[in-house]
Structure 1
Amino acid sequence: MLPAVVIALGSAVLFGLSTPVAKLLLGEADPWMLAGLLYGGAGVGLLAVHLARRALGGAEAHLARGDLPWLAGAVVSGGIVGPVLLLLGLARVEASAASLLLTLEGVLTAVLAWFVFKENFDRRIALGMASIVAGAVVLNWRADVTITELAGPAALVAACLAWAIDNNLTRKVSLSDPVQIAMIKGLVAGPVNLAIALLAGAAWPSAGTVSLATLTGFAGYGISLVLFVLALRHLGTARTGAYFSVAPFLGAVASVAILGEPVTPALALAGALMAFGVWLHVSERHEHEHEHEELAHEHRHVHDAHHDHAHDGPVDPRRPHSHWHRHAPLRHAHPHVPDSHHRHRHP
């Protein structure tokens, strides 16, 4: 589990640091245009990675035809709708406050995972999410707030919902090649957003802005998404969303350092509440006797307690490899999370 946690945190670091950079770039580019450049940079960069890795040989399972509806929904919600809502919100809210508000993505991701996709949770996890929500309320609460002033935070909450839908749909295809998944998202979402921006009359930004935006997109949206998909595979949707919630804290710190934004008491209290919620998730331990039903699928794996099958040809079971394989029924007890092999019911 620890390597998967590190992967999720790495995804959070890259995305969190991209938020204040995007805030800076909004002064130079239209939100639709910037969304297109960010995702276009992710798509083109990962295309180069995909081609290079394919030339060298890889061990990941390719997307199957049955994966395409899930991926299409994820591309629309997370690659087109979410980024534009984020940038519209950033234009109206300080980047540090926006970064912490984006922690709600993890909450909404978990709510959908629990109640729509039936992923397991307990009181500790629910308390952690409640603490994160409380932090978001503290961050944006003012007795004299107007409807106009709520537009920015509302856009950010809507972006979080779009990404929460994206995360749960991506979970359905997370056993497939994460580079291919993230690449397709970028190559579709980037051109679509650019086309919308140009049709709406947006001006093409300077070469420097384009370069910085595409590089930021490659790291903060492309590589970050690859790591996120890997974490989904090993941790489940809600837990990955919880670990990813550290991204806004990093974005808030970077906003104070890069943009010179003030550290207010509300910002500090909201950060403390959100940090406590994330800690409850990170320190979770879930162990009981459980049963694995017979299952057949394809994904990258090594042989362990859950992968003990024969091969038709010569394969080193200790090295990562990918092929269609079958899991025999198994009953045992060990610490686990709702990953791809632990989707069982709980009493």
Structure 2
Amino acid sequence: MQVDLFDYHLPESLIAQTPLADRTASRLLTLNKQTGEIGHHMFEELENYLQAGDVLVLNDTRVIPARLFGVKADTGAKVEILLLKQLEGDRWEALVRPGKKVKTGATIHFGGQPESAEATGTKPLLTATVEAEGEMGSRTLHFQYEGIFNELLDRLGSMPLPPYIKEQLPEKERYQTVYAKHEGSAAAPTAGLHFTKQYLHRLEQKGVQLAYVTLHVGLGTFRPVSAEKIEEHEMHEEYYEVSQETADLVNEAKRKGGRVIAVGTTSSRTLETAATEEGILQAGRGWTGIFIYPGYRFRIVDALLTNFHLPKSTLLMLISALAGREQILKAYHEAVEREYRFFSFGDAMFIY
């Protein structure tokens, strides 16, 4: 299947640059995957599409301030890195810019020094050595420091907003879900940004059950589909966890005829990774490189709350697998015509 089949025209003016003051104030496009019926609502009307016995599955990953700015120890040249995945201990996979100038063996210093540490005699707060080079500018970095790494990251790092967002984020917590818990993501599971604690409580009062999975968003979110055919694209692996509590809750709901509604493509990929062929969700943890595109048979996910995705992206392919490519592109065309806000800080879509 050709990647170009998942392209659509999006005016740049529709890319949301800042989050709304009220998380629940977004618009909501609904798509019935059986009939193709499209509806236009406000996000708070989502509860009208949910019912007692449904399970809402949310990704409770927490974004780390993964963007760091440093200098090369030998030249003082400025370097930007984006932490993607903790490998083990103090070794991380990261994207590095400019990648051509940061080779294996290079040392990078972080801590605000204007020049190289050798030139100034100052001791950096954080030092990284490049151990290996990967594809698309990725590097394996080994960090050296004194103290606690996460505290240094909070002090030195900034939120890794996607490249299409040009505005500064007024507060870091606005790029976190209200239920974010386990640190490790290089990007937010943005479908969850629409919820407040009060709104989730309202859904629970209605009889909707909340369940949590963890998937730390990594390189797959930033990596474009470079192949001409989607079957040739290889997904980057990301770490996930499914608790026994969540597995039991989901399986019981399925047994009783309730729906499993994934909040975001990351929750969807986690659920489908941990599912058996018979549609049983299994507790566990590990790495997933699952790539969902049209032709895939969903084993767990019945409905999906998501944001609007980039043209020709793996995320657009995933939702097309759930609702059909032509229906998705028709809905997107309508969203563009009605000037919905797109991407991370944009409006929401409910596929049911």
- Report 1 or 2 for greater relative contact order, CA contacts < 8 Å, sequence distance ≥ 6: 1
Which is richer in helix? 1
Q: Same fold (TM over 0.5)?
A: no
TM-score by length of 2: 0.27
TM-score by length of 1: 0.27
